[in-house]
Amino acid sequence: MLYVVRHGRTESNASGLLLGRGDPHLDDLGVLQAQAVADAIGPVDRIVSSPLLRTRQTAAAFGSDIELDDRWIELDYGEFEGRPVADVPSGTWAAWRNDLDWAPPGGESHRQLGARVRKACDDLLDEAAIRDIVVLTHVSPVKAAMAWALGVGDEVAWRCFVETASVMTIGTGRGGPSLRGFNDTGHLDHLGGLGPAGR
């Protein structure tokens, strides 16, 4: 089984900021979320993580060796990094939604992100059929991995929401990947603090 997990909350997420390659640590709630998700999934055979601190801290809650893979890093927001989501003009959001090749100045497009995440997923597919693998990553790669599992285009990213410390479960078989669960957050119910958060 392949578990794709968004990292626990950071102060930037809680403040509604676009958080891409910035590298803040988990906030107090994020630390609790990391432990809750590790407890919910339980022991796994392999742990893969984005190299950013917030994902490594979430991965550490599993208590096993961590393998870093740059392909699972968050979308590069370029000049938009750290900007409040609410401050991005509506026209910019429209351009972003309507063109997979559009990217923030100095940043990365959804098509570019999707290509690297799909390759990372392909590399785990066969192993996930016989072993349990957890990937600690970010909101945009989670969405790209979902698109891979469903066999749909990366534009689906704009039609789904991914909570901090949520779990996506992907099974594998002769027919390829199959989505078993998405944005699962039941393990966080006792913590509170959920709701719309910045990337």
Tell me which residues are annotated as active site.
Answer: 7, 74
Closest residue by Cα to residue 48 from 34, 68, 63:
68
Contact criterion met (CB below 8 Å) for 16 and 197:
yes
Instruction: Give me the residues paired with residue 127 across strands.
Output: none
Provide the 3-class DSSP secondary structure of residue 129.
coil
Count of C-beta atoms within a 10 Å radius of residue 123: 12
State the DSSP string of 19-38. -SS--PPB-HHHHHHHHHHH
